[in-house]
C-alpha cells in the first residue's frame, strides 16, 4: 500500500494552519509552534526569513519577486531553460537573457521576441568551450509594442508562454524545447515581423509566406483571409483587435506544406508521463503536447527530438532534422512520442567481500568516528550534506563487518545532525529550513553557492540529506515515520524535485528539465549562454537516494521518480558530458568531455580554478553504489580515464579516491593496487573516506565490472562480471523476504532490509541456453548470435566475421541491398513486452562514407508473412581501422505491425550497406573477453 506521505498538500504557512488540517493525517501537529513555524511530525520549518539572511535577490542584493502576469496561477518554477524570464537577476534588464529552446533560440525585448536558429558552432576560450550562440533572424511583435518587461503567463513541462505587454498592446508567445514553432496571441495592433537582414521570399500562399534570411528558412502564418504586407525587412499582418500568428523554422523550403498543417494548431501545454515496470526492467516515457486549433481542425504539431530521445524512441521518425548543441535533432509528427530505456538497478551500498581486510576497515571507520570534528567544520547545506553523505556511506560497511557499535554510533551522528536541520527552533537557530511562499521554495540556512539568493543547486545539496535519511531508515524505520521525521524529509526532497502536480507548495520537478533529460543548476539562468549544469553526478546522487527512500517508505511515487531521474539522466549524461555516441560535440572541438553543459554548448572548465582531476571528478562524485552507471559501458569508462591520464601525463594526484573509484569500473585490479600503495598517505576528497574507498575497490576487484547484459525484476540490483563468473546483488527494501529473478534465469532471495549476493557463470553477454540449438527452433532467453546464415543461442567459441557487401556508391537507406541474412525459424516463445536490442561490432577499415544498416523482422505464426518489421537508422563507420559498435540506440527509422507471442514463428536479421563503396565487416565471433555480435529479441521460451 502506498505510504501515507504521498497525500497531496496545500501550501501551508503559519497564517493558514487551520486550512492545513484539510490535508489529512500527514500534517502532525505538536505543541503550538512559534508564529513563524510550521510543524511537520517531529520537525518544522520557518516561514520567516532568518535574521541577516537573504532570499532570492538580484546582483545588487535587492530582493526580487517572480515576474508573472496577473492571471498566472501555477507554482513558481525556477532552474529551467527559460528561468531568466521569471527571475530578474539584473536590475537594468527586465526582459531576461538568451533563451535556448533548440532548435530555436530567443530573447525578449521591448518590441517583441527575437527568434534565431543557432546552427553554426564557435570554438572559443582557447578551445575550451563550444557554443551555438543566439543570433536573431527576426523579431516577432505587435506594431508599436513597447513592453516595459517580459513576464511569464504560464508554463508546461518544457514550454513557456512569455508575455510582452504595454498599456494597449499584448504579445503572448508560446515557445518550447523541441518546438520549431512560435505560437503567438496578439492584441492591440497588427502582427509585426522584422527580419535582421533582407529576406528572400520564395513562397506566398494566401495568409502564409516562406522566406530565407541569414541562410535559415522560415514560414510566417496568419489567420486565413489575412495577408502579409511587406515593406523592406518588415512584414505585417492585420489580425483584428485580437488574433494570432505563428512562425516556423523549416529544415528546407520543400517542407513548407508539412509545417503549414500545424500553423494554427497552437501548443497550450506540454507534459511528460513515465511508467516504470520492474518486471521488465523498462522505463517508458511519453512526451505529449496539448494543442488547440485556432482555426481548422488540425491537432498535434512537429517536435524535434534530442539524441537521447530519438535513439531510444518507439515512435516513427520523419526525415526532418535540425542542428543543436546536443547533436542532431530528429523530428516526429503528431502530439506525442515515447521512449523506452532499460533500468539497470540502484543499490544502496556494495557488499563487503571476505577477502578484504575487515580489521583495516574497522580502524578506518574509527578514524572518522574519533575525529575531533566528524563534520569537518561544515555549517551550510552543501558542506553539511557532503559530511552527511560521507558518514552515511560508512554505516552499511560497519554493519557488513559486524561492527555493530560503530554502525550505531554513525547512525547517532546522522540522526543528531539531521534532527537539528529538520527543526526550526526560532530566530536564533543556526541550522533550519525556511519556506519562501513568494517563490514556492524551501531554503536551508546557512546557505551556500547561491542556494538562497539564486535558488541554485537544491538537488545537489538536498540529495545528501535524502541519502542520510534513507540510510537511517534502512536500520530504523520508525525514525522516518509520518509522526516523526518523514514529513520534513519529504518536504526537503520535494522542494528539489516534486513528483506531485497537485502539491502547490513546490513546482513539479524544479531541478530537472524533462525534455533536456538533465537538470539545470542556476535558479535564474541569467547568462548569455542560458543555463548550465556542472555536477551531473550530484544530480544522479539525488535520483538514487530518492529511489531508495521511496522503496524504504513503500512509496512507489517517490521510488519511480528516483528511477525515472536516474535512468533518464544516465542516458543524457554519457552523451552530453562525455560524448559517448560521438555526435554531440561539434567537429573541431578537441576535448572528449566537458565539465559543464550550457544551454548553448559545452565547456571544458568548471566554476572554480580547479585541476583537470577536479574537472573530470566533479561529474563522478559522490561515489556511491548509485554511481555504477558510470561503468555501464566499460570500454567508454576506460577511455575516459585514459583521456585524463593522457592530459595529465601521469595518474591523477588530486582527488585520488574519486579517480580510483572511477578507474575500478573498468580496471578494478589496477585501481586497488594504486590504493594499496598510497592508502596511508593520501588525503580523501571531502565527501569521501578511506574506509568507503577501500570497500568499493576491494569489492570490485573481486566481483569485476558491472554488466548491463542482465537485468532484474527489482529496482535495486546490480550484476558484475569478472570474465569467469557473474555476481548478482539485490537489495530488499521491504519488511518481508523477496525473491529476485534476473533476466538470465538466476534467482536469489533477499531478507528484509538486506543485500543478497549469489554467484554464477560469467561471460561477455547473457548466459547461452543450457541446451543450445542450432539455427532453428530454440530461442532460450532471447539472446541470439550470428552463426553462418542462422541465428543461434550458442555463443561462438572462435573469432569470426561476416562481410557486408558495399553499397556501390548508391544510397540504400531503408531498403535492403544485397543483404546478409540470418534467420531462426520454428520458434515458439512468450513475448516479454520489451523491445529489440542489438550490439554489432562493425569495421570499415580506413574507407570513408560507409554505413551498415539493420532490419529485424518477426513472422509470429510461421505463415511466411512478417507481422512486425523494424528498420533501424544506419551506422556510419569512421575511417580508422578498429571495431565500433552499432546498437539499437541509433533508433528506428521505420516500423510496422505489432509483436505478440511466437508460435512456430520466424525471426530474421538483415544487414546491408546503406552507403559506401567499400565492404564492411561485422564480428560474429570474438576472442575471450571481447564482444561478438548479439541480437536480443523480446521473447523467452
pLDDT at residue number 669:
98
pLDDT at residue number 762:
52
Active site residue 534: yes
CATH of the domain at 821: 2.60.120
The pLDDT tens digits of the residues spanning 742-763 come to 999 999 999 999 999 999 875 4
Q: Indicate whether 177 belongs to any domain.
A: yes
Q: Which residue has the higher pLDDT, 56 or 892?
A: 56
Given 157, 368, 457, 722, the catalytic residue: 457
Instruction: Name 607's bridge partners.
Output: none
Residue 531 has pLDDT above 60, yes or no: yes
Residue 774 has pLDDT above 70, yes or no: no
- Band (929; pLDDT cuts 50, 70, 90): low
Look-up of cell digits 555526435: 583
Instruction: Mention every residue, 6+ apart, whose C-beta is less than 8 A from residue 343.
Output: 276, 278, 281, 282, 283, 563, 567, 711, 715
pLDDT at residue number 427:
57
Query: Cis link prior to 446 (omega < 30° from 0)?
Result: yes
Query: Cis link prior to 622 (omega < 30° from 0)?
Result: yes
- Band (240; pLDDT cuts 50, 70, 90): confident
pLDDT at residue number 101:
98
From the list 193, 309, 314, 304, the residue with the least C-alpha distance to 247 is 193
pLDDT at residue number 404:
97
Residue 775 has pLDDT above 80, yes or no: no
- Band (797; pLDDT cuts 50, 70, 90): low
| Cα–Cα–Cα angle for 245, 246, 252, rounded to 5 degrees | 145
Q: Once rounded to an integer, what is the mean pLDDT over residues 263-291?
A: 98
Least trusted range by pLDDT, from 201-215, 674-688, 760-774, 923-937: 760-774
Cα–Cα dist 497/368, whole Å: 32
Active site residue 114: no
DSSP assignment of 733-785, as one string?
-SSS-EEEEBTTS-EEEE-TT-EEEEEEE--SSSPPPSS---SBS--TTSEEE
CATH of the domain at 100: 2.70.98.30
Considering the chain, what is the average pLDDT of its residues?
92
Residue 31 has pLDDT above 60, yes or no: no
For residues 716 and 369, the answer to whether their CB atoms sit within 8 Å is no
Q: Indicate whether 688 belongs to any domain.
A: no
Q: Indicate whether 790 belongs to any domain.
A: yes
Q: Which residue has the higher pLDDT, 5 or 650?
A: 650
Active site residue 157: no
How many domains does the chain fold into?
A: 2
pTM of the full predicted structure? 0.81
Residue 764 has pLDDT above 50, yes or no: no
Q: What is the DSSP letter of 650?
A: S
Q: Indicate whether 494 belongs to any domain.
A: no
Q: Indicate whether 764 belongs to any domain.
A: no
The pLDDT tens digits of the residues spanning 145-172 come to 999 999 999 999 999 999 999 999 999 9
C-alpha grid cell, residue 409:
554510533
Given 80, 157, 538, 859, the catalytic residue: 538
The pLDDT tens digits of the residues spanning 850-866 come to 999 999 999 999 988 89
The pLDDT tens digits of the residues spanning 446-503 come to 999 999 999 999 999 999 999 999 999 999 999 999 999 999 999 999 999 999 999 9
C-alpha grid cell, residue 187:
492584441
Domain termination site, one of 318, 338, 358: 338
The pLDDT tens digits of the residues spanning 804-846 come to 998 887 888 898 988 999 999 999 998 888 889 999 999 888 8
From the list 104, 80, 584, 588, the residue with the least C-alpha distance to 325 is 584
Q: Indicate whether 605 belongs to any domain.
A: no
C-alpha grid cell, residue 92:
537594468
Cα–Cα dist 279/457, whole Å: 34
Q: Indicate whether 239 belongs to any domain.
A: yes
Query: Cis link prior to 44 (omega < 30° from 0)?
Result: no
pLDDT at residue number 623:
98
Q: Once rounded to an integer, what is the mean pLDDT over residues 778-806?
A: 85
Given 97, 534, 556, 685, the catalytic residue: 534
Instruction: Name 219's bridge partners.
Output: 210, 248
Q: Once rounded to an integer, what is the mean pLDDT over residues 396-405?
A: 98
Q: Once rounded to an integer, what is the mean pLDDT over residues 303-316?
A: 97
pLDDT at residue number 705:
98
Torsion from C-alpha of 195, 200, 202, 206, nearest 10 degrees: 40
Q: Once rounded to an integer, what is the mean pLDDT over residues 244-251?
A: 98
**Is the four-CA dihedral 538, 544, 550, 553 of positive or negative sign?**
negative
Q: Indicate whether 886 belongs to any domain.
A: yes
pLDDT at residue number 429:
66
For residues 921 and 806, the answer to whether their CB atoms sit within 8 Å is no
The pLDDT tens digits of the residues spanning 21-30 come to 233 333 333 4
Cα–Cα dist 306/322, whole Å: 10
Range of the structural domain that residue 333 is part of: 83-294+303-338
- Band (532; pLDDT cuts 50, 70, 90): very high
For residues 144 and 501, the answer to whether their CB atoms sit within 8 Å is no
pLDDT at residue number 18:
30
pLDDT at residue number 899:
92
Amino acid at each position: 500500500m502506498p505510504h501515507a506521505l504521498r497525500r497531496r498538500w496545500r501550501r501551508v504557512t503559519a497564517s493558514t494552519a487551520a486550512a492545513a488540517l484539510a490535508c489529512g493525517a500527514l500534517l502532525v501537529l505538536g505543541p503550538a509552534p512559534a508564529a513563524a513555524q510550521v510543524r511537520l511530525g517531529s520537525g518544522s520549518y520557518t516561514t520567516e526569513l532568518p535574521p541577516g539572511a537573504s532570499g532570492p535577490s538580484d546582483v545588487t542584493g535587492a530582493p526580487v519577486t517572480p515576474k508573472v502576469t496577473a492571471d498566472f496561477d501555477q507554482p513558481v518554477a525556477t532552474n529551467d531553460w527559460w528561468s531568466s524570464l521569471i527571475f530578474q537577476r539584473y536590475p537594468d534588464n527586465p526582459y531576461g537573457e538568451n533563451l535556448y529552446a533548440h532548435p530555436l533560440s530567443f530573447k525578449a525585448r521591448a518590441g517583441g521576441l527575437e527568434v534565431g536558429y543557432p546552427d553554426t558552432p564557435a570554438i572559443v576560450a582557447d578551445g575550451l568551450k563550444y557554443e551555438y550562440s543566439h543570433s536573431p533572424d527576426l523579431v516577432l511583435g505587435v506594431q508599436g509594442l513597447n513592453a516595459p518587461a517580459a513576464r511569464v503567463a504560464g508554463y508546461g513541462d518544457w514550454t513557456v508562454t512569455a508575455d510582452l505587454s504595454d498599456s494597449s498592446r499584448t504579445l503572448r508567445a508560446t515557445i518550447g524545447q523541441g518546438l520549431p514553432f512560435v505560437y503567438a496571441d496578439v492584441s492591440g495592433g497588427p502582427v509585426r515581423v522584422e527580419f535582421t537582414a533582407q529576406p528572400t521570399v520564395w513562397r506566398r500562399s494566401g495568409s502564409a509566406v516562406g522566406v530565407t534570411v541569414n541562410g535559415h528558412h522560415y514560414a510566417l502564418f496568419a489567420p486565413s483571409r489575412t495577408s502579409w504586407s511587406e515593406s523592406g525587412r518588415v512584414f505585417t499582418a492585420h489580425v483584428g483587435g485580437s488574433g494570432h500568428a505563428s512562425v516556423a523554422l523549416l529544415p528546407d523550403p520543400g517542407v513548407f506544406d508539412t509545417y503549414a498543417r500545424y500553423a494554427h494548431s497552437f501548443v497550450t501545454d506540454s507534459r511528460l508521463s513515465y511508467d516504470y515496470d520492474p518486471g521488465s526492467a523498462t522505463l517508458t516515457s511519453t512526451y505529449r503536447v496539448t494543442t488547440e486549433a485556432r482555426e481548422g481542425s488540425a491537432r498535434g504539431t512537429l517536435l524535434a527530438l534530442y539524441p537521447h530521445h530519438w535513439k531510444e524512441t518507439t515512435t516513427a521518425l520523419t526525415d526532418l532534422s535540425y542542428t543543436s548543441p546536443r547533436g542532431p535533432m530528429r523530428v516526429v509528427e503528431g502530439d506525442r512520442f515515447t521512449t523506452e530505456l532499460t533500468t539497470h538497478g540502484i543499490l544502496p551500498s556494495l557488499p563487503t567481500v571476505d577477502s578484504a581486510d575487515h580489521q583495516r576497515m574497522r580502524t578506518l571507520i574509527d578514524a572518522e568516528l574519533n575525529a575531533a570534528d566528524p563534520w569537518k567544520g561544515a555549517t551550510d547545506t552543501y558542506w553539511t550534506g557532503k559530511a552527511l553523505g560521507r558518514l552515511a556511506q560508512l554505516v552499511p560497511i560497519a554493519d557488513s563487518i559486524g561492527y555493530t557499535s560503530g554502525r550505531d554510533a554513525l547512525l547517532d551522528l546522522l540522526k543528531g545532525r539531521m534532527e537539528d536541520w529538520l527543526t526550526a527552533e526560532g530566530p536564533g537557530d543556526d541550522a533550519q529550513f525556511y519556506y519562501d511562499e513568494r517563490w514556492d521554495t524551501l531554503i536551508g540556512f546557512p546557505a551556500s553557492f547561491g542556494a538562497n539568493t539564486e535558488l541554485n543547486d537544491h538537488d545537489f545539496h538536498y540529495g545528501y540529506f535524502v541519502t542520510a535519511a534513507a540510510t537511517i531508515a534502512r536500520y530504523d524505520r520508525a525514525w522516518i515515520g509520518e509522526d516523526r521525521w518523514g514529513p520534513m524529509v519529504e518536504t526537503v526532497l520535494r522542494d528539489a524535485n516534486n513528483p506531485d502536480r497537485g502539491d502547490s507548495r513546490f513546482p513539479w520537478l524544479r531541478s530537472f528539465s524533462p525534455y533536456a533529460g538533465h537538470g539545470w543548476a542556476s535558479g535564474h539562468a541569467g547568462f548569455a549562454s542560458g543555463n548550465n549544469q556542472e555536477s551531473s553526478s550530484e544530480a544522479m546522487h539525488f535520483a538514487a537516494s530518492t529511489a531508495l527512500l521511496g522503496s524504504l517508505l513503500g512509496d512507489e511515487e517517490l521510488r519511480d521518480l528516483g528511477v525515472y531521474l536516474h535512468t533518464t539522466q544516465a542516458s543524457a549524461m554519457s552523451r552530453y558530458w562525455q560524448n559517448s555516441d560521438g555526435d554531440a560535440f561539434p567537429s573541431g572541438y578537441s576535448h572528449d568531455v566537458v565539465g559543464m553543459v550550457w544551454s548553448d554548448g559545452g565547456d571544458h572548465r568548471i566554476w572554480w580554478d580547479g585541476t583537470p582531476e577536479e574537472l573530470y571528478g566533479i561529474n563522478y562524485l559522490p561515489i556511491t553504489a548509485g554511481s555504477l552507471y558510470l561503468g555501464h559501458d566499460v570500454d567508454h569508462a576506460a577511455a575516459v580515464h585514459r583521456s585524463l591520464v593522457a592530459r595529465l601525463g601521469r595518474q591523477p594526484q588530486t582527488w585520488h579516491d574519486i579517480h580510483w573509484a572511477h578507474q575500478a569500473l573498468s580496471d578494478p585490479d589496477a585501481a586497488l593496487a594504486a590504493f594499496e600503495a598510497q592508502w596511508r598517505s593520501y588525503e580523501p576528497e571531502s565527501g569521501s573516506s578511506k574506509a568507503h574507498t577501500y570497500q568499493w575497490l576491494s569489492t570490485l576487484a573481486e566481483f569485476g565490472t558491472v554488466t548491463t547484459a542482465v537485468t532484474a525484476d527489482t529496482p535495486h540490483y546490480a550484476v558484475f562480471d569478472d570474465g569467469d563468473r557473474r555476481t548478482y546483488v539485490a537489495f530488499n527494501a521491504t519488511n518481508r523476504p523477496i525473491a529476485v529473478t534476473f533476466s538470465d534465469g538466476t534467482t536469489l532471495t533477499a531478507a528484509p532490509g538486506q543485500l543478497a549476493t549469489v554467484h554464477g557463470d560469467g561471460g561477455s553477454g547473457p548466459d547461452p541456453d543450457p541446451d543450445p540449438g542450432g539455427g532453428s527452433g530454440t530461442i532460450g532467453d532471447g539472446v541470439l548470435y550470428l552463426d553462418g546464415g542462422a541465428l543461434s543461442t550458442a555463443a561462438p567459441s572462435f573469432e569470426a566475421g561476416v562481410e557486408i557487401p558495399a553499397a556501390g556508391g548508391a544510397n540504400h537507406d531503408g531498403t535492403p541491398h544485397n543483404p546478409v541474412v540470418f534467420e531462426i525459424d520454428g520458434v515458439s516463445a512468450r513475448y516479454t513486452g520489451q523491445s529489440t536490442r542489438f550490439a554489432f561490432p562493425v569495421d570499415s577499415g580506413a574507407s570513408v562514407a560507409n554505413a551498415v544498416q539493420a532490419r529485424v523482422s518477426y513472422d509470429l505464426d510461421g505463415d511466411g508473412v512478417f507481422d512486425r518489421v523494424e528498420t533501424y537508422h544506419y551506422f556510419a563507420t569512421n575511417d580508422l581501422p578498429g571495431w565500433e559498435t552499432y546498437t539499437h540506440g541509433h533508433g528506428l527509422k521505420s516500423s510496422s505491425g505489432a509483436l505478440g507471442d511466437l508460435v512456430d514463428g520466424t525471426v530474421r536479421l538483415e544487414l546491408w550497406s546503406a552507403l559506401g563503396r567499400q565492404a564492411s565487416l561485422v564480428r560474429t565471433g570474438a576472442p575471450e573477453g571481447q564482444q561478438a555480435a548479439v541480437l536480443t529479441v523480446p521473447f523467452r521460451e
